[in-house]
Amino acid sequence: MIEVKNLVKDYGGHLAVDHLSFTIEDGQIYGFLGPNGAGKSTTMNIMTGYIGATEGDVLINGHNILEEPEEAKKCIGYLPELPPLYVDMTVKEQLYFAAELKKIPKKEREQAVSSVMELAKLSDVMGRLIRNLSKGYRQRVGLAQAVLGFPPVIVLDEPTVGLDPKQIIEIRDTIRELGKKHTVILSSHILSEVSAVCDHILIIDKGRLIASDTPENLERQMAGASGMELLVKAPKEEIVTTLESIPQAADVTVEESGEEGIKKVSIHLSGAEQEDGEDIREIIFFAFADQRLPILSMQSQKASLEEVFLKLTSEAEEENTMVIPETQEEIRETEDGEGEKEE
């Protein structure tokens, strides 16, 4: 549906987007994840035709966004971070105006506007001036405007920023509903939001793509991501001896839990987590049961999306770290290749 090829946006020497390439497939919810300033909004603005790229191409359903803007934009509904609304209009007037701009046939406009108002839960405020609406309702109007005409691709830039928890849940539910019939691209730096609604995640940092996969696969790829945490009522020596019989238990830490006679056990799992069709939890349970050592609790551990994100972005930063001379003297020394910085 969408192809981004070698996209570059240069703001006077600052690369907001740095040779970015990816493909968006039909019928999924994609999450654009990255820290503030990563280039998410710039990329979305280029994809939707708001601004031009310095280099590269964006193809929407086979139409180049710069060469065939009208055909390409017919396929996209876009909600910027700050919805473009006329505050002196009522909600209904704004949506009718947007329907006219989108060239929705006159006889179909009433049904189209009614449908998006119902989707965004705006029917109760359709006669109110937008200036008198809360931020949450303005965001809903912007969402309804983006969805108007039900284009195949919906692009949402930070759709829940500044909303209260109840409003965030409602917007997320709406996004999931849209994802059943549309391709949705969701930009955010809120990790829980992305993992809650997205089928696929694109992580970008400093304008470059550093990861692209499902949330589950990204978490699974983390080195040392899998493990178990147990509370066991037994002496440390017996716990260690029991776990030595389990090949998958590569690294074991036994600590005091704070309760008398109960130890907190952390197990790092290596290799396959199953043996002869058994779950590793079963293997651990029966190993301790055979020794009559009671397990009071058992909990699986895996890397969170936050840990994945921090690891990937920190690795990308390390790869691009360079020493920048701070003084003219250091610059001369760098150019001449001789001498050391004098104190």
Residues 33 and 123 both lie in one domain: yes
Residue 230 — φ and ψ, nearest 5°? -125, 155
Residues 51 and 179 both lie in one domain: yes
Alpha-carbon span 109 to 103, nearest angstrom: 9
Q: Determine, yes or no, domain membership for 342.
A: no
Mean pLDDT by runs of 10 across the 343 residues of the chain is: 91 89 91 85 90 92 90 91 92 95 93 93 93 90 93 91 83 89 87 84 87 78 66 93 86 88 85 54 90 90 62 60 43 46 42
Alpha-carbon span 18 to 64, nearest angstrom: 19
Alpha-carbon span 209 to 213, nearest angstrom: 11
Q: Determine, yes or no, domain membership for 162.
A: yes
Residues 163 and 250 both lie in one domain: no
Q: Determine, yes or no, domain membership for 341.
A: no
How many C-beta atoms surround the C-beta of residue 162 within 10 A?
12
Q: Determine, yes or no, domain membership for 343.
A: no
pLDDT at residue 147 in the model: 93
Residues 288 and 167 both lie in one domain: no
Q: What distances in angstroms separate CA 268 from CA 5, 92, 216, 316, one per listed residue?
A: 41, 57, 19, 26
Tell which of 158, 192, 221 closes a domain: 221
| Number of domain units in the chain | 3
Q: Determine, yes or no, domain membership for 176.
A: yes
Alpha-carbon span 301 to 320, nearest angstrom: 31
Residues 144 and 253 both lie in one domain: no
Q: Determine, yes or no, domain membership for 69.
A: yes
Q: What distances in angstroms separate CA 83 from CA 79, 112, 136, 185, 293, one per listed residue?
A: 6, 19, 11, 16, 60
Tell which of 221, 242, 277 closes a domain: 221
Residues 152 and 112 both lie in one domain: yes
Q: Which residues are registered as beta bridge partners of 185?
A: 30, 155
Residues 202 and 287 both lie in one domain: no
Residues 58 and 206 both lie in one domain: yes
Q: What pTM value is reported for the model?
A: 0.68
Q: Which two tokens stand for residue 162?
A: 């500044």
Residues 291 and 176 both lie in one domain: no
- Where helices occur in 16-131 by DSSP H, the ranges are 40-47, 69-73, 91-101, 106-119
Tokens 């180049």, located at residue: 64
Q: Determine, yes or no, domain membership for 108.
A: yes
Q: Determine, yes or no, domain membership for 11.
A: yes
Residues 144 and 186 both lie in one domain: yes
pLDDT at residue 314 in the model: 66
Q: Residue 264's domain is classified under what CATH number?
A: 3.30.70.260
Residues 168 and 236 both lie in one domain: no
Q: Give the DSSP per-residue string, 13-37.
A: TEEEEEEEEEEE-TT-EEEEE--TT
pLDDT at residue 55 in the model: 92
- Judge whether 129 and 165 are in contact, CB under 8 Å: no
Residues 168 and 286 both lie in one domain: no
Tell which of 194, 221, 248 closes a domain: 221
- Judge whether 209 and 22 are in contact, CB under 8 Å: yes
Q: Residue 186's domain is classified under what CATH number?
A: 3.40.50.300
- Host domain of residue 138: 2-221
